[in-house]
Chain A
Amino acid sequence: MENAFILLAYTIVVVFGFVPIIKKKHKGEITVYSFLLILSAGLLIFKLFISPDSKSISEIITNFITGLK
């Protein structure tokens, strides 16, 4: 269910955001847009499928700072 919503969000962004930019042929915007999309999708795939039990960023930061103190 959750994954379906994520897929829907990505589809909307790609269809209404990315496709018009590709049509305009703005090279810089296309590169940055695709970079951000890949980065966010990568993070999602990592957390949802590859390593769901991995430590969260805030836990890593908390442990790091507590270790320093």
Chain B
Amino acid sequence: MKKEAITVKQLIFLMMLFIFGTTATIEVHANVGQDSWISTILAIIFSLPMVVVFARIISLYPGKNLFDIMQEVFKPVVGKILIILMIWYALFTASNVVCIINNFIKITSLLSTPRLIISLSFIVIAAYLAISKLNGFGKGSTTVFYIVIAATVITMLMSLGKIKNFNNLFPIANHSISQIAGGAWAIFAMPFAEVVLFLGLADVIKRKKNESIYKAFIFATLIAGAILLIVNLRNLLLLGSYLIESSYFPSFKTARILGIKDILERIEGILTYNFMMAGICKLTVCIIFASKGTTKLFGLKNYKTLIAPISLLLLSLCLVGNDNIVEIFDFIHVYKYYALPFQIIIPLIVWIGAEIKTRSDKTKSENTQSIPEP
């Protein structure tokens, strides 16, 4: 059987879609008003060392995913505990994504459709993508990314005509450094550091000799970060910080006021498409991550077998996880604290462990080679 794989190029597109996707519409409330663009820049800078750590973990053990590495580096019990924690993180992140999409649809269009039906529809699509060949998912994400970018560029160009002045950006740096850094941390946690979930897909990345995984991670972070920054500036300039902070979906609000006279109106539909497509992509990555983790945890071989029950578990989590949009956005405010162990502490522990293990293995093999045969 041919091993499935995604190329580095596809990985970059997937990561960009993953980072930029849902956050471009909900926009993490950094609570720094008009200084949120400074926080976004700082978040991009903060995330660079972390993505380098993620890339380093992958390059230390080529052809292995996070769970293989955890099992190899740590003792079975510790490795299994770490795997359980990461599975929980992936599943709960996925349930939050579903709930955000769910509420977005309920608020903007399908007012009286039961949330379970909307959730189920999205989970079924994501599960189907996860069961299908990963190569197809990678190729599809490339296409979707181009459409998403084209839509974003169109809305940006249209907004240029609406921007009369830059007053909404002033006074610049009105908040303290600690407040701006706190805002940057919130944006770092959601969405930049969430790319830790791609470590679960590390075993399927097909690399050519001249392709660097470091460059892929850094490039995806920078490009997606730049797009998020532009979206953030656009919303700030058009809506102002007060309207952004009082809105759950500021980009959608921005798109509603855009248009070209009477010729082109109601372009917020494009934004809805972007949001859903990117959301499905994020959901698929989370489902694959959780399935691979569960497969490793119980010592099974094929992760695709478990995608269906994991998806059902996700559906249950959507019900138990969040009740309404207010709860989700309250949770987003504390997300940076909640996500700290999964996004920073566990990856750092794995990285340090992997460095020590690979070096000791290298020394051992060198010593074995240097002993002369009798």
Residues of A within 8 A of B317 (CB): 43, 57
CB interface residues, B 73-110, toward A, < 8 Å: 92, 96
Stretch at the interface among B149-157, B217-225, B255-263, B292-300: B292-300
Q: Given contacts A28-B298, A59-B323, is CB(A37)–CB(B312) below 8 Å? A: yes
* A49 CB to nearest B CB, Å: 12
Q: Which A residue's beta carbon lies closest to that of B324? A: A56
8 extra A-B contacts, CB within 8 A, seeds A28-B298, A36-B306: A9-B120, A21-B305, A29-B300, A36-B313, A40-B316, A43-B320, A57-B92, A62-B327
CB interface residues, A 43-69, toward B, < 8 Å: 43-44, 46-48, 56-59, 61-62, 65-66, 68-69
Q: Given contacts A2-B114, A6-B116, A47-B319, is CB(A32)–CB(B312) below 8 Å? A: no
> Looking at chain B's contact residues, is the secondary structure mostly helix, strand, loop, or mixed?
helix
What 1/0 mask marks residues of chain A from 26 to 45 whose CB sits below 8 Å from any chain B CB? 00110111001101111110
Q: CA separation between A6 and B316, bound complex, in Å?
A: 10
A47 touches B327 (CB 8 A): no
Q: Given contacts A2-B117, A56-B327, A58-B328, is CB(A48)–CB(B319) below 8 Å? A: yes
Q: Given contacts A2-B114, A17-B308, A56-B320, is CB(A40)–CB(B327) below 8 Å? A: no
Across the interface, A32 reaches (CB within 8 A) one of B294, B330, B334, namely: B294
Residues of B within 8 A of A40 (CB): 309, 312-313, 315-316
A-B contact pairs, 26 of them (CB 8 A): A1-B114, A2-B114, A2-B117, A5-B116, A13-B308, A28-B298, A32-B300, A32-B306, A33-B305, A36-B294, A36-B313, A37-B309, A40-B309, A41-B316, A42-B316, A43-B313, A43-B320, A48-B319, A56-B320, A58-B328, A58-B330, A59-B331, A61-B334, A61-B338, A62-B330, A66-B334
Residues of B within 8 A of A10 (CB): 312
- Interface size of A by Cβ–Cβ distance < 8 Å? 36
Residues of B within 8 A of A (CB): 92, 96, 114, 116-117, 120, 124, 294, 298-300, 305-306, 308-310, 312-313, 315-317, 319-323, 327-328, 330-331, 333-334, 337-338
Residues of A within 8 A of B320 (CB): 43, 46-47, 56-57
Q: Given contacts A58-B327, A62-B330, is CB(A2)–CB(B116) below 8 Å? A: yes
* B141 CB to nearest A CB, Å: 25
Q: Which A residue's beta carbon lies closest to that of B338? A: A61
Q: Given contacts A9-B312, A13-B312, A32-B300, is CB(A61)–CB(B305) below 8 Å? A: no
Q: Which B residue's beta carbon lies closest to that of A39? A: B313
Q: Given contacts A28-B300, A59-B327, is CB(A13)–CB(B319) below 8 Å? A: no
